[in-house]
Structure 1
């Protein structure tokens, strides 16, 4: 019986259950296994149960600021990303999303490992950030084309243009893949909550790993 490939899952969580949440799964061979949008939490859980991922990357705050009010109601990871030139929204501005994300993580925790990721930071570190408007067609076409360099089976944008939610979900799954291979760094304070982003030159390190695995 063949050994089942490791699966990495990505969730671009919406703040409300009546809005689309992007989900994606990739294999350890960096093959796209799933990309879709769903709404209720039970649908997210069902897809996760089906794919049984080794790690889940979630694009949403998975923790609250420390202290009674936090520092300007933001977490250290958010402030540190801003220092790196990657601005984020303060957790207080994403309260509904944050509480939904924390609830989802607690539901998944007994069986699955989760990490918080931030697609914009992943795009910056991979050199695929666009200056175009995020939800614009040009921006999505650009990102989808660039993602096909990292993840196999991403459809051509000229044939099937993925939504912004789906693209961010693929980025979340890919960041989880990089994290598993020790090619991310945690930004922020470990007690409060970390956002994981690719290390600088992650792709070069990944190429070295690929070459090494082929030799073995």
Structure 2
């Protein structure tokens, strides 16, 4: 069995492949087209993608929907429910716009369109977007939306250090090493310094997909809008910031 994690960038991806024994097979910088070829080569059970699986459908702008969530909500408009669920736990992904035009207007969000393209191409290859309702029946060819920062937060039980610092990189390395993932040292020793955080993110994405497959993961968000997978069957309700 194989599991692939994809960290999406504007013109490329960092793609990690692990097996069911948590051996890292490879981690590479690839073009989007090469990433699709890699999926077709390995035929993984789960492909985990660090990008929104769909646009914001306006649920968090609907006052009736907000009231039905059963908690007092200040703000949190113009984002997906999954992004709200993470942000109320102190984890803040980029809010996903409600139209592709708005994605294209924002230089800092233009990578999202590449992620949406990747989901659509893999769906055409008979991969199915997974959520809390369908994952048990579709685990052999599943797509999972992930947010590696959230995955690391769950693994740590608190918000991790900034990944652009040596402290943050080392923390993420140790969190993955403690899961039993092997070959980490070899993989990172061959990575350029500027790529190490992306390598760790893609491996965390693959590991999250592995746990979803093993029924050891969880999802947040609304099924109708697309959910984010997390590497823990029991979602912790709050996180505390680590003090430097």
CA deviations on 1:15-63 (whole Å, 9 max, x unpaired) are x11xx5211011011111111212x211111221221111100011111
From 13, 17, 26, the equivalent of 1:21 is: 13
| Aligned mates of 2:54, 2:41 — CA distance in 1 | 26
TM-score, normalising length: structure 1: 0.79
Deviations 1:175-213 (A, max 9, x none): 0000001112110100011001122569xxxxxxxxxxx
Partner of 2:92: 87
2:103 maps to none
Alpha-carbon RMSD:
2.5
Is residue 61 of structure 1 aligned with residue 52 of structure 2?
yes
Find the aligned partners of 1:167 and 1:142 in 2 and give their Cα distance. 10
Match of 1:106 among 101, 120, 138: 120
User: Which blocks of at least 5 consecutive residues in structure 1 are unaligned?
Assistant: 1-5, 203-216
Match of 2:166 among 137, 155, 164: 137
User: Which residues of structure 2 form unaligned runs of 5+?
Assistant: 63-76, 98-105, 128-141, 236-244
Task: Give the SS at the match of 2:85.
Answer: helix
What is the number of residues matched between the two proteins? Answer: 193
Task: Indicate yes or no: 2:176 matched with 1:147.
Answer: yes
Alpha-carbon distance, 1:157 to partner: 8.3
Partners of 2:79 and 2:95 within 8 A in 1:
yes
Equivalent residue number for residue 178 of structure 1: 211
User: Aligned partners of 1:98 and 1:160: how far apart in 2?
Assistant: 28
Q: Distance in 2 between matches of 1:131 and 1:105?
A: 28
Moved more, 140-149 or 79-88: 140-149
| Alignment partner of 1:127 is 2:156 | yes
